[in-house]
Structure 1
Amino acid sequence: MTAGEPAPAGPAPGKDRIEALDALRGFALFGILLANLPYWAGLPFASPEELKALAGRIDLQAFSAFFNFVLDGKFYTLFSLLFGLGFALQLDRLERRGADGLRIFRRRMAALLLIGCLHIFLIWDGDILTLYAALGFALPLFRRTSDRALLVWALAFLFGVPVAGVALCAAAGIEPGAPLFALASAITAAQGIDNAKIAPIAFVGHGGWHEFVVWQSTGWAYNYGERLDNWRIAKVLGTMLLGMLAGRYLLRGQLLENRRLLWIVLVGGLVIGVPANLAYAHLPPHSQASWSSLIGTAPQGLAYGAAFLLAWPHARAVLGLLSPVGRMALTNYLTQSVVGDLIFYGIGLGMMGRIEILFVYAIALVLYAGQILLSRWWLARRRQGPMEALWRRMTYGAPSGEGAPLAA
C-alpha cells in the first residue's frame, strides 16, 4: 500500500477495542437472559394451577414486583444504547481509513437483518436482532445532526412519542398491535388449529416439532404486535440515538474519563427511575405501556450502565470476566435462545411449566457461567466468535481481523 492510499475496508483491529464496553455488553446480555427466563418458563401464559407449580416456594407477587422493578426493559435499554454507540465508533473508524462507512454499515445491517429473520422464524420468537437491524438503517439519517439536536431527537423518541402515542391511541380506542394479533390467529387457523383452544405450555412446552413450527410461524406477529402496543420501537430508536451521542463523547475522550457525567446519569437515572419503577412494580396496570414503565425504564437502565462504568476502574479484575461474553455477544445471544428451546420446549426436554422459577434462575446462572468460560476459551484461540466471524464475512465478503461486536 503506497503513501496516501486508503487503508483497506475491514473490521476494526483488536487494539481498537474498549474492554469496559465489552464488559458492559456482557453485563447487558446477562440481564437480557434473566429478563427472558419467565417466558421460557411459561409464566406469561400459565393457568392459575400452573402458576402455583411454577411459583413453588416463592411468592409470585413478590417475584413479579422484583422483575418489573429490577429487570423488565432495563437491559435492552443498555443493549440499544451500545448499539447506537457502536454505530458512531464504526463509522468513525471506517471513514478514518478512507472506506465508505455508510455503505459498509448498511451491508452490516442487511446481514444482521437476515440473521435476525432466521432467528425469529426458526429459533425463538422473542428475537431483538430484526428490530435492531431495521432501526439501524435509520441511524445514518442523524449522523450530521448536532449534539444538542441529537439529544432532543433521542428524548422525543424515548419519552415524547411513546407517552403521546399511548394517550392518543387510548383516546381514539385504537390498539396498534391488533392487526398483527389478528394475523397471528389467522395463520394458526390456516394450519387447522383453533387459537382459542391452545394451552400454550402444553402446546409448545410439551408438544413436538409440529407444534413448535406452528408456534414459530405466529410468534413473530405477536412479538411485533406487543412492540407496537407498548411503543418499544420508538423507545429503542431513542435509546440508539442516545448511544450515538455517547459514541461522540467517547471519541472526544469525554465519556469514560468524565466521571462527573457518569455520576449525573447515575443519580438522575435513579431519581427518575426508582419512583416510576416502584409504581410500575406495585400499582396496576403492570404494563409496559403504563406511564410508570414509559417514564422509568430507560433512566434506570442508563443508571445501571453508569454505575457499571463508575465501578470499572475499581473492580476491573471482577467485571472484566464479562468482557469475553460481550466480545461474542451475537454468538452468546443466539446460544441462549437455542439452549432455552432445548431445555424448555417440547422439541427438547420439555421443562416449560415443570420447573419452579427459582430453579429456572439457577439454570440461568449455570448457563451464563458456562458462557463466560467458553467465551474466554474460544477467544484465547480465535480472534472472534463464530457468529461474529460469519457476520463479518457477510459484511466484508472475506474473513479479516477482529472487528466490533453486536453493539459496537
Structure 2
Amino acid sequence: MRFASQDWVLSWALLLLLSCTTYSSTAMGKPENNIKTDVFLSPKFELGPGSVVNKDYLDVDFPRGHVAIKSFNAEVVDESGKSVSLQEVYLHHWLVVKYHQPKNVSHNNSTDNIVPVRNSGFCQGDTLGQYYGLGSETRGTDTDVPDPFGVEIGNPSEIPHGYEEKWFINVHAIDTRGVEDRSGCTECRCELYNVTKDGDGKPLSPYYRGGLDCCPDNSQCRLKKGFKGPKRSFYLKYTVKWVNWDKYVVPLKIYIIDVTDVLNKSKGMSPEHTCKVEYEVEPCNKGYNSSACIDVKRTSLPMKTGGYVIYGVGHQHAGAIGSTLYGQDGKVICSSIAKYGNGTEAGNEKGYVVGMSTCYPKPGTVKIRDGETLTLEVIYNSNERHTGVMGLFYFLVAEHLPH
C-alpha cells in the first residue's frame, strides 16, 4: 500500500483525481417533497475581545418524534441574525449530542440522570460521542444525506421506559478582536492564555504547548496593549432537515475515527480505544524545501461491523491539507480536501479552513467488510508549528441497501 508520505505530490494529485471522478460534491438523487426544514438558535452567549466560550446547552430545540435526519449544519450569528466572520469570532467547534433523561426532571438545565447516547464510532467513554459536529469549515461543507437514507432518531423502542430523548449542544468559540496573535489564539497556545493547569487543576506538561486545555470556558487570550472593545452577544444558528420515519427510509450509522486513536489490544476480546482528539504538528526542519514540509499521521483500526459507505468527510484545523480513509487493501474509501478562504466575508475568510470536500459514493459501490481494518491518514502543512490540531473522519454507513 502506498501512502502520501512516500511521494506526497503524486499521491495527492491522484487522490484529488479520484475525488473528482468517483465522488460527487453534492447529495445524490432528488429530495423528497416531504423534507422538512427548521432553523433553531442556541441560548445566547456573550464574548468580549479575546474571550472564550466553551459551554454545553442542555435540552435544546430539535426535531421531535420518530424521524430521519437528512442534514445538519450550523454557524455563529449576531443578535440581528447576521453571519459572523471567523476573523472576529473563531468557531473552534460545535457538537450535537443525544441523551436520555427521566421524564420527571423539573427543569431543562438539570444534569440529573443524564444517559448520553453515543454514535457507532470507536472512541470510548465520553470522547467523540456526538451525532454531529464541525468547526470553522461548517459553512462550506455539505452535510445532506441522499435518499432513501437518513439518521434515525426518536425511535420509541430505543428510549428506556420513563425516559425521553433530548439533545445538548456544545459551542466552543473564541473572540479574536484585538488579540496579539490571532492564529495563536485560535490554536489555543498556552502562553497566550496564561494557562498552566488543566481542568482538574493538574499542572500541564511542559511539552503541551497548546490545545483544548489552554482555552477553556471564560479564559482570555492576550490582547494588544491598550485595546478595548465592547462585549457582544451571539448565537449558534443551526439548520436541520428531516423526514418522518417510514419503512422506506434506510437507517445510517454514524462513525467517527480519530487519527490519535491507539488500540490497546492487551484487553483481549474487548480492546480499548484511546482517543486523544488533538495533537501537535512540529515545524519542519528549515533545511528542507518548504514545499516538502508536511506532517503525516495515520492509524489503523478494525471495524467490527461493516456496510456500505454513503457519506464521508474529514475534520481538520488551520494548516490542514486533507485526510483520507483507506480500506484494508489500500483502496481509497474517501478523500477529504481542505478549502481555504481568500476574502473577508463570512464563509470566505482568508487563511481559515472554510470547507472540507465530501464523498458521496454511489450506493453499493463502496463496501467495508465485517472485521476489515481501516487506515486513516491525516496530512498537515508543517512550515510552522500548529498546536491543538485534530484529525477526525466522519462517515455514514448503511448495513443494507434499499430493495
Tell me whether the two structures share a fold, i.e. TM-score over 0.5.
no
Q: TM-score, normalised by structure 2?
A: 0.23
Higher strand share: 2
Structure with the bigger RCO (C-alpha within 8 Å, sep 6+) is 1
TM-score by length of 1: 0.23
